[in-house]
Amino acid sequence: MNAINTLTKRLPGAGLLLSLLTVSLLSSCSRFNNDGSLATWGYVILALDVFVLFDIFRQDWGIGKKILWAAIVFFFPLGGLILYFLFAGRGKSST
C-alpha span between 74 and 79 (Å, rounded) = 10
Spatial distance between the Cα atoms of 3 and 72, rounded to a whole number of angstroms:
24
Task: Please name every residue paired with 94 in a beta bridge, in sequence order, or none if there are none.
Answer: none
Residue 45: enclosing H or E segment and its boundaries?
helix 40-58
What pLDDT is recorded for position 11? 61
As a whole-number percent, the residues of the chain with pLDDT over 90 amount to: 15
What is the chain's mean pLDDT, rounded? 75
- pLDDT tens, position by position, 18-62: 665 555 555 545 566 667 676 777 778 888 888 999 999 898 889
How do the residues of the chain divide into helix, strand and coil, expressed in percent and rounded to 5?
Answer: 75, 0, 25
Dihedrals φ, ψ of 34, to 5°?
Answer: -65, -30
At 68, is the pLDDT very low, low, confident or very high (cuts 50, 70, 90)?
Answer: very high
